[in-house]
Amino acid sequence: MPKDIVLEIDNLVFGYKKDELLYNGFSIVLKRGEVCTVVGPSGSGKSTLFELITKELKPISGSIKTKKIAQIYQDPYSSFHHTYSIINQIEDVASVEKMHEYLEKLELNEEFLHKKPFELSGGQLQRCSILRALLMEPDLLMADEPTSALDNIIQLSVMKLLMKFLDKVGILLITHDEDLARWSSDRVIKLAK
């Protein structure tokens, strides 16, 4: 895979039933520095695409090549264990060596990291989730509805924060929000149900 390509899907075919394909000949190339957004109604295969990329599901045919992946999930409260501090959960999966250079960009106070998830607002916790993903030093950042649990003003600020890191990653975003997709993306892929 060329150095700047972080995701390459070629001629993907997948369906839960052989006669009802969600993907039939689907291809995409995503490079570092790009945001590609997948939009579509519930049941159109948006989350399925992520499961195929992370190899939780196996395609019928076609190929998926990726570089190192980190994910940001829709609900930040379910992506952290409620009884451990944020910093403990970050240290479980990533080095915190570069943490200070990210904290300022993410508008995060270091004291938040010593709290438990339920002690933070949804916006603060989602920024912690982004911090954890970035500290994993991915090439591909996959964000599944990362702003849907947040109000509109915080949604916009979280997307702006994510886009500050495009020098390091390519972003594959799933959202129902077509306005957000058009505003933030180099390319929008619309899936039909």
Please give the C-alpha separations between residue 51 and each of 64, 138, 145, 172, 192, in angstroms, as whole numbers.
11, 17, 14, 13, 18
Q: What's the fold here for domain 5-190?
A: Rossmann fold (3.40.50)
CB within 8 Å of 156: residues ≥ 6 apart: none
Written as one string, the DSSP assignment of 10-22 is: EEEEE-SBTTB-S
pLDDT for position 173: 93
Q: Which DSSP helix (H) or strand (E) runs through 175?
A: strand 170-175
Average per-residue pLDDT for the chain: 89
Pairwise CA distance, residues 122 & 97, whole Å: 25
Q: Please state the φ and ψ torsions of residue 28, each to the nearest 5 degrees.
A: -160, 145
As a whole number of angstroms, the distance between CA 69 and CA 172 comes to: 10
pLDDT at residue 19, rounded to an integer: 85
pTM as predicted: 0.87
pLDDT score recorded for residue 14: 95
- According to DSSP, residue 113 is labeled G
pLDDT in tens, 142-189: 998 877 766 676 777 778 888 888 998 999 999 888 888 888 899 999
In angstroms, how far apart are the furthest CA atoms of the chain? 53
How is the chain split into domains, by residue range? Answer: 5-190
- Greatest mean pLDDT among 4-13, 16-25, 98-107 lies in 4-13
